[in-house]
Amino acid sequence: MTAAPETDLVARAVRRDPEATATLLAEVRPGLVRYCRARLGRIGGAYATADDVAQEVCLAVLHALPRYRDEGRPFSAFLYGIAAHKVADAQRAAIRDSTVTAPAALPDGPDADPGPEQRAVATDLARRLSALLARLSEVQREIVLLRVAVGLTADEVGVIVGMSAAAVRVTQSRALARLRSLAGTALDEVAA
Query: For residue range 59-77, what is the model confidence (pLDDT) as tens digits?
Result: 999 999 988 888 888 888 8
CA distance 79 to 28: 8
Instruction: Mark 48-76 as b/e (b = at least 16 C-beta within 10 Å).
Output: ebbeebbebbbeebeeebeeeeeeeebbb
* pLDDT score, position 20: 92
* pLDDT score, position 74: 85
Are 160 and 77 in contact, with CB atoms under 8 Å apart?
yes
Least confident window among 1-10, 43-52, 137-146, 152-161? 1-10
* pLDDT score, position 43: 66
Q: Which fold has domain 115-192?
A: Arc Repressor Mutant, subunit A (1.10.10)
* Ranges in the chain annotated CATH 1.10.10.10: 115-192
CA distance 9 to 71: 16
Please name the CATH architecture into which domain 1-97 falls: Orthogonal Bundle (1.10)
Query: For residue range 30-42, what is the model confidence (pLDDT) as tens digits?
Result: 999 988 888 887 7
CA distance 4 to 79: 17
* Ranges in the chain annotated CATH 1.10.1740.10: 1-97
* pLDDT score, position 27: 92
* pLDDT score, position 2: 41
* pLDDT score, position 101: 60
Are 33 and 8 in contact, with CB atoms under 8 Å apart?
no
Closest CA to 122 of 188, 45, 184: 45
Q: Is the pLDDT of residue 1 over 50?
A: no
* pLDDT score, position 3: 43
Query: For residue range 80-133, what is the model confidence (pLDDT) as tens digits?
Result: 999 999 988 888 877 776 655 666 676 677 767 777 777 777 777 777 888 888
Query: For residue range 137-189, what is the model confidence (pLDDT) as tens digits?
Result: 999 999 998 998 888 899 989 988 999 999 999 999 999 999 888 887 655 55
Q: Residue 104: how many CA atoms within 13 Å on its side-chain side? A: 0
Are 43 and 49 in contact, with CB atoms under 8 Å apart?
yes
How much is the pTM?
0.62
